Chains A and B, each alone.
Chain A
Amino acid sequence: MDAVTVKDLSYQYWSEGPWVLKNINFQVARGEMLVITGLSGCGKSTLCYCLSGIAGHRRDGVMQGQVLVNGKDVQELRAASLALEAGMVFQDPDTQLFSSSVEDEIAFGPENICLPPGDIRARVDNVLDLLGISSLMEANPYHLSGGEKHLVALAAVLALDPPVLILDEVMSRLDKQGVQRVADVLKRLRAAGKTIIAVEHRLETVTFADQLMVLAKGTLARLGPIETILADQEFLAAQHLTD
């Protein structure tokens, strides 16, 4: 069974509004990493919201088609159940952080699924160590830099240990060491069977991914092995994706 299956997906934010996604079809196998790219406003973040179930639960939104995560229809799952299937790191970490310390922020998810205190402690320590942010444990997330905030948001999602990760430009605010560290973490998570869907503009940071999807004006322009698409300079230039 594929980890993510998207069938005939279209989405508009309100019923009279434009179709932001138009008839998207694809699958992502378990343990695979898919990168989504395309010009600003082409629907990348909206697709992330659809995959994580957020878009389908918006009161004004209109979602057509179907998104299955681990075989479960995201529109039929409650938000709390969805968070255990697909964890999403938002493009803007300020929209995601709400606790007064990094430790509390990361512990929030595990506490809310009622893990024993020892397990919560272990998960918090593990993700802090994994992302190299143990020194920030007591800091207020709002006092951190943009890149540090993004690492905390990622840590909070990883602490819930969801099988599918949806990462919306999580590397954009990171310094070179941060990008390298997150890339290493993603490779390890993929090797451990996690399915990763990541939006990125800087494709040179994610060449280790398996698949690349190029979106253009809400439609799927191309999907295939990342090395094949990156080698097609003519296509990338036509999509305005070359440096």
Chain B
Amino acid sequence: MHFLELSQVNFHYPKQEKLALDNINLEIEQKSITAVIGPNGSGKTTLSKVMIGVFPATGGKILLQGDPVSELSLAEIGRSIGYVFQNPDLQLFCGTVAEEIGFGLINRGCEPDRVKEKVDFYLDYFQLAEYRNAFPLHLSQGEKQRVAIASVLAAEPEFLILDEPTIGLDTYRKKILEGYLQKIACSGRGMVLISHDMSFVNRLADRVIQMENGHIVDDGDWKGNNGYDA
């Protein structure tokens, strides 16, 4: 059984005739790092939002670990897949950075001591400790991005989807993120990375899917440097 399976999936936005996703057939395994690349407006973000049921597919079938996504609640999907939005402003809502990172853990019934331990770890790892009590929306874009990523990672979902996670990140913090994503991939938790940052994609992905005009036009398996044009 594949972790995610999309069969003949179509999607169009309300009041628009043009298909944003056109006959997508795709299987994704839990232990892989799959990158989705393609020009602006080719359907990368739409594909990821359809995968997690935020946008209901207008045609076709999506199975998450064998269950139709259309029959699962967003909370059920969210327990399996952690999603980092392209714009962290859409994701941050707590009064402090520490609360933001701990929110998912508390809502999964994690013991307070364990929540504190994990929050401290992620604050340190993503160099956010000095902002522990800061209001997340007062931070810089790169810092907000790191808080959003840390919040999703802290909940330790089985699978991750990260939409343009390197936007706003400096080179140094990008390397820190790369290292962590490699580590969790080694522990068997895979991910879909949507990115224009080809040096990031080439270093991390073992499969690269290329989209154009709502279609998948290339799907390649390589390990290491994929040689995609940066």
Contact = CB atoms under 8 A, between A and B. Distances in A.
Nearest to B173: A40
Interface in B139-174: 139-143, 145-146, 164, 167-173
A122 interface: no
Interface in B38-54: 38-42, 44-45
Given A145-B45, A172-B167, A41 B138 contact: no
A173 B171 contact: no
B147 to A, nearest CB: 11
Nearest to A94: B87
A146 interface: yes
Contacts of A202: 197
Contacts of A39: 142, 170, 172-173
B196 A175 contact: yes
Nearest to A173: B167
B168 A169 contact: yes
Chain B interface extent, by class: 20 to 34
Contacts of B87: 92, 94, 146
A240 B175 CA distance: 10
B145 to A, nearest CB: 8
Given A92-B87, A92-B89, A45 B45 contact: no
B180 interface: no
Interface in A225-243: 240-243
A146 B38 contact: no
At the interface, is chain A mostly helix, strand, loop or mixed? Answer: loop
B86 interface: yes
Interface string B63-90: 0000000000000000000000011010
Contact of B40 (A38, A44, A92, A174): A174
Nearest to A171: B196
A176 interface: yes
B229 interface: yes
Contact of A40 (B40, B86, B170): B170
Listed residue (B45, B139, B168) with the most chain A CB atoms within 10 angstroms of its CB: B168
Listed residue (B145, B164, B196, B198) with the most chain A CB atoms within 10 angstroms of its CB: B196
A240 B196 contact: no
B140 A243 contact: no
Contacts of A208: none
Nearest to B197: A202
A29 to B, nearest CB: 27
Interface string B13-38: 10010000000000000000000001
A169 to B, nearest CB: 7
A151 B167 CA distance: 16
A241 B170 CA distance: 7
A177 B168 CA distance: 20
A19 interface: no
Contacts of A92: 87, 89, 141
Contacts of A108: none
Given A40-B143, A45-B141, A173 B41 contact: no
Nearest to B163: A146
Contacts of A178: 39-40
Contact of A145 (B41, B140, B146): B41
A134 interface: no
A174 B145 CA distance: 17
A162 interface: no
Contact of B172 (A144, A151, A241): A241
A61 interface: no
A38 to B, nearest CB: 7
6 contacts: A39-B173, A40-B140, A41-B140, A145-B41, A146-B45, A240-B171
Given A40-B169, A147-B196, 8 more contacts: A39-B142, A39-B173, A41-B140, A41-B142, A143-B16, A201-B170, A202-B197, A243-B199
Interface of A: 13, 37-41, 44-45, 91-92, 94, 143-148, 151, 169, 172-178, 201-202, 240-243
Interface of B: 13, 16, 38-42, 44-45, 86-87, 89, 138-143, 145-146, 164, 167-173, 196-199, 229-230
Top 10 closest pairs, chain A to chain B, by CB: A40-B142, A147-B40, A240-B172, A145-B41, A175-B39, A41-B140, A39-B170, A172-B167, A91-B141, A145-B40
